Amino acid sequence: MKVAVIGTGYVGLTTAVSLAMNGHQVTGIDLVASKVEKLRQGISPIYEPGLEEALKKVLDDGTLAFFTDLTEAKDAEIFFICVGTPEAADGTADLTYLLGAVSDIEKVHSLAPQERIVVIKSTVPVGTGEKVAGMLAGCQGVSVASNPEFLREGSALLDALEPSRIVIGVDNSQAAASMEELYNGVKAPRVITTRVNAELIKYASNAFLATRISFMNELARLSTALGTDIVTISRGMGLDSRIGPQFLRAGVGYGGSCFPKDTIALLRLAAEHNIHLSILDKVREVNATQPGWFLEQLCLQLPDLKGKQIAVLGLTFKPDTDDIREAPSLKLIEALLQKGAFVKAFDPIGASGVSKQFPQITYTQSAAEACEGAHAALLVTEWEQCVQLDWKRVHQSMAQPLLVDGRNAWPNQEVKEAGFHYIGIGRS
């Protein structure tokens, strides 16, 4: 099928590449000319494992091309909207980019009217699909579908090629059939439903995953007080098939471009209907206080951070991505600087992004280098490069052998044997 993908960020680029790999003729559109220029040369503007190689292949095959102007895709049967829906000042989802894309589609459709589907892949408040359908009511032959995205940064391409499920919200059977044709060959359970259901499935999924994380983070605080081990507790819980092992790890709190904004958007959406989602409110509260609780664990060992050198290992909100949006590292660095500490930070990919916000700290080429002369090292993101270290050497190079493991990812036995004082999250 002929497909246009509007917005070539984490979701749009991955969608465009995966659809092209699945045999569709895809046109990727982005407002940012420099991004389009890079993409045409086969350079991915984002770091995502395997994506650049796949991009080069589909460009060579001629199944994917990039432009800044949507009229280049005027004969597309399907328009995917993959633009950002960031948090507005009042916590609701800002639909400015989405509405801009809809108005671009309206113009292009008037130039080349035909049967087509506008698919909203961006995460949007319940009712947005109805709103967009209303805006496009004058465009004959246009249907609006909701097809939320569930990919995880760090494994985005694989998730797009082998999704856990495909959720399609439509209001007519013809649009459902076209969407089925688009995803023909992709093995995944289908949920074909209404647009509003599809939209809420996305918000509910993210809110539930955030809930699991905050539940474990709060439990980790109790575990610390009781002297129990949250890693063992999590394992014991996760083996119950009703619970499952995913998203049961305690840490420094969730970040990224989705959970923070989607949980607040869902709360605001509920409030518009006079419903208070009290559990979700607490989920956000626990998450907001988790980095501070983590630093308290450091301060129990090192009460005065003034003039102390602290190594911060890992800056992105999770490993295998360059995304630093809402990363806990940002809050931690800020708090450390406020307490008068000197920060040396390392991240395999994310340092350049963070250095724009924190030019005053030192960025090193390796985790071991960040630890040299440090009074404590904090693991904030469990990149392999931050986890697998020569502990004896690191021990020799530090001013004080204190490790505070914000991801429970360091080998606690091995580091203790190397002579470190080791503190995990909720670990005995």
Q: Which residues carry out catalysis? A: 258
67: nearest Cα among 2, 107, 7, 19: 7
Cβ proximity to ligand NAD, 84 vs 328, nearer residue: 84
Give yes or no for residue 97 binding ligand NAD (CB under 6 A): yes
Could you say whether residue 151 binds ligand NAD (CB under 6 A)? yes
229 binds ligand NAD (CB under 6 A): no
> Which of 48, 52, 153, 320 touches ligand NAD by CB under 6 A?
153
150 is in an annotated binding site: yes
Among residues 200 and 341, whose Cβ is nearest to ligand NAD? 200
Say whether residue 9 binds ligand NAD (CB under 6 A).
yes
For residue 346, say whether it is annotated as part of any ligand binding site: no
24 CB contacts (<8 Å, ≥6 apart)?
1, 2, 3, 63, 182
Q: Does 26 bind ligand NAD (CB under 6 A)?
A: no
Q: How far apart are CA 364 and CA 348, in angstroms?
A: 10
Side-chain-facing half-sphere of 58: CA atoms under 13 Å? 29
157 is an annotated ligand-binding site residue: no
Tell me if residue 135 falls in helix, strand or coil.
Answer: helix
Task: State yes or no: residue 31 binds ligand NAD (CB under 6 A).
Answer: yes
Q: Are 128 and 95 in contact (CB under 8 A)?
A: yes
Hey, which residues between 233 and 292 contact ligand NAD (CB under 6 A)?
257-258
**Between 14 and 25, whose beta carbon lies closer to ligand NAD?**
14
List 18, 25, 27, 123, residue binding ligand NAD (CB under 6 A): 123
Residue that the structure tokens 């091995």 belong to = 414
DSSP strands (E only) in 89-234: 116-120, 142-146, 166-169, 190-193
Alpha carbons 406 and 421: distance in angstroms, whole number: 14
> Is 356 in contact with 288 (CB distance < 8 Å)?
no
Within 147-227, strands assigned E span 166-169, 190-193
Footprint (CB under 6 A) of ligand NAD, residues 402-421: none
Which positions from 51 through 90 interact with ligand NAD, judged by CB under 6 A? 82-85
Residues 101-120 that bind ligand NAD (CB under 6 A): 101, 104
- C-alpha radius of gyration, the chain, whole number: 23
Question: What are the residues binding ligand NAD (CB under 6 A)?
Answer: 6-12, 29-32, 35, 82-85, 97, 100-101, 104, 122-123, 149, 151, 153, 257-258
- From the annotation, which residues make up the binding site? 30, 35, 85, 123, 150-153, 202, 247-251, 255, 261, 318, 325
